[in-house]
């Protein structure tokens, strides 16, 4: 298997690295986190200028046409710089979803707005009490005689939900919580009557929201894909997000490794750098091995996340998330211990990397959850594939 990047992929990586090195210092990030929005509109415009907001959009829609590997390159760089902009929800999840199962009308209207930076989206797939189960949906969607849908329910931990111009939510059109069938996807305007929420900061520098939907009316064109067959689409989007988070975690781990190595070379004790002590050298070797193993698994997930075989995709993504979750914890603990007490202070970026790695481990399932998911996928029968409507009239 060829693991060499193409010339286009190397140019993408180089452009993202140079842009973030120039504009996204640790102090600049702290200033962004302190704002009410929790992200920088100027940085977002810079992403649009680089073409990053159109990464999963096919060339037929004037996008980059990138896949899992291109997303990995971008997210790994984001991890090294601790980027807090709403890229995961807007681009990796929502734009990728629209490009995959959206109708022609939805793609023609929404994708250009996403790519030019004028529209941000957030995905509400999780609910209170559901933990990591994407099928645990109690939010209901009822279609009335006039064709409008009425939504009632709540969504938890909607990352960057407060700054989203449009929400993508899952709701149950039939069945009960836990059923694989009967889940549908909808666009919801946060400004619609009946939509409310509570925004809060997360400990890793991001922002999230709890969203409630009370008798929210949306038109029939807000349905995404086929009614009642949305779970395979949600699982695909979640797997893409997990693969992207694995790459981001590798970026964080690499930054922790580099910062720790620099500290061992400069911190002196007994008149010599502490990096001279053999026991610390051995710990750095262990840290390096965990980073390289994590990078290999992130690459595997990036290559398999676009596989049409849902079982193969699920196994690769869960294997990567499980190993990276445990390796990330090891690297974070070693980095703090080798830095000493100062590694836990907010003034040093090490603590912020540790927070982000810890948060990534819990997003869309921790290491234990994905170990169980990998085992289940290894024993699973072929999963049903999602269907794309041939026209907007097939949505009803």
CATH of the domain at 352: 1.20.140.10
Q: Does one domain contain both 165 and 115?
A: no
Tokens 């939509």 appear where?
A: 195
- CATH number for the domain that contains residue 144: 2.40.110.10
List, for residues 281-331, the tens digit of each pLDDT value: 999 999 999 999 999 999 999 999 999 899 999 999 999 999 999 999 999
Closest CA to 222 of 160, 171, 164: 171
Q: How many CB atoms lie within 10 A of CB 110?
A: 20
E strand or H helix at 49, and its extent?
helix 41-50
The verdict on residue 396 lying in a domain is no
Sheet strands (E) in 190-292: 195-201, 207-218, 223-224, 268-269, 272-273
Q: Does one domain contain both 334 and 270?
A: yes
pLDDT tens for the chain, 396 residues long, are: 556 889 999 999 999 999 999 999 999 999 999 999 999 999 999 999 999 999 999 999 999 999 999 999 999 999 999 999 999 999 999 999 999 999 999 999 999 999 999 999 999 999 998 889 999 999 999 999 998 999 999 999 999 999 999 999 999 999 999 899 999 999 999 999 999 999 999 999 999 999 999 999 999 999 999 999 999 999 999 999 999 999 999 999 999 999 999 999 988 788 888 877 888 899 999 999 999 999 999 999 999 999 989 999 999 999 999 999 999 999 999 999 999 878 888 888 999 999 999 999 999 999 999 999 998 887 764 444 555 554 433 333
Using a cut of 0.95, tell me whether the model's pTM lies above it: no
Closest CA to 388 of 107, 146, 63: 107
Find all residues with CB under 8 Å of 41, minimum gap 6, and list them.
none
* Rg for the chain, CA atoms, rounded: 21
The domain total for the chain is 3
E strand or H helix at 296, and its extent?
helix 278-304
The verdict on residue 387 lying in a domain is no
- CATH number for the domain that contains residue 38: 1.10.540.10
Q: Which of 120, 136, 151 is the last residue of a domain?
A: 120
Return the pLDDT at 391. Answer: 40
C-alpha dihedral (327, 333, 287, 360), degrees to nearest 10: 40
Q: Does one domain contain both 112 and 138?
A: no
Q: Does one domain contain both 127 and 162?
A: yes
Q: Strand, helix or coil at 388?
A: coil
Q: Does one domain contain both 365 and 236?
A: yes
Return the pLDDT at 388. Answer: 52
Which residues form the domain of 135? 122-227
Q: Does one domain contain both 356 and 237?
A: yes
The verdict on residue 69 lying in a domain is yes
Return the pLDDT at 387. Answer: 54
Q: Does one domain contain both 126 and 116?
A: no
């Amino acid at each position: 298997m060829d693991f060499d990047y193409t010339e286009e992929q190397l140019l993408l990586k180089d452009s993202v690295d140079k842009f973030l090195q120039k504009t996204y210092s640790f102090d600049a990030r702290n200033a962004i986190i302190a704002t009410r929005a929790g992200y920088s509109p100027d940085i977002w415009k810079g992403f649009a200028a680089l073409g990053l907001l159109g990464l999963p959009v096919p060339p037929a829609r004037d996008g980059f046409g990138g896949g899992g590997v291109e997303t990995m390159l971008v997210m790994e760089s984001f991890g090294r710089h601790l980027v807090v902009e709403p890229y995961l929800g807007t681009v990796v999840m929502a734009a990728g979803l629209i490009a995959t199962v959206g109708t022609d009308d939805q793609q023609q209207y929404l994708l250009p707005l996403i790519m030019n930076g004028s529209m941000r989206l957030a995905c509400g797939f999780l609910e209170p009490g559901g933990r990591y189960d994407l099928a645990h949906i109690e939010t209901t969607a009822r279609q009335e005689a006039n064709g409008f849908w009425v939504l009632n329910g709540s969504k938890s931990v909607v990352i960057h939900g407060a700054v989203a111009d449009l929400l993508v939510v899952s709701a149950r059109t039939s069945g009960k919580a836990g059923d694989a069938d009967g889940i549908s996807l909808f666009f919801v305007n946060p400004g619609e009557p009946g939509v409310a929420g509570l925004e809060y900061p997360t400990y890793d520098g991001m922002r999230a929201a709890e969203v409630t939907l009370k008798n929210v009316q949306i038109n029939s064109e807000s349905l995404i894909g086929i009614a009642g067959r949305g779970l395979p689409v949600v699982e695909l989007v979640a797997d893409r997000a997990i693969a992207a988070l694995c790459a981001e975690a590798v970026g964080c781990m690499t930054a922790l490794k580099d910062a720790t190595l620099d500290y061992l070379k400069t911190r002196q004790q007994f008149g010599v750098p502490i990096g001279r002590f053999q026991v610390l050298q051995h710990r750095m070797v262990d840290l390096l091995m965990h980073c390289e193993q994590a990078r290999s698994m992130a690459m595997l997930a990036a290559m398999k996340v676009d596989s049409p075989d849902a079982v193969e995709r699920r196994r690769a993504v869960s294997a990567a998330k499980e190993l990276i979750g445990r390796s990330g914890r090891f690297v974070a603990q070693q980095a703090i211990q080798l830095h000493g007490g100062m590694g836990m202070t907010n003034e040093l970026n090490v603590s912020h990397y540790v927070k982000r790695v810890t948060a990534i481990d819990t997003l869309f399932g921790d290491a234990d959850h994905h170990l169980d998911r990998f085992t289940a996928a290894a024993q699973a029968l072929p999963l049903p594939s999602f269907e794309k409507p041939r026209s907007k009239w097939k949505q009803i």
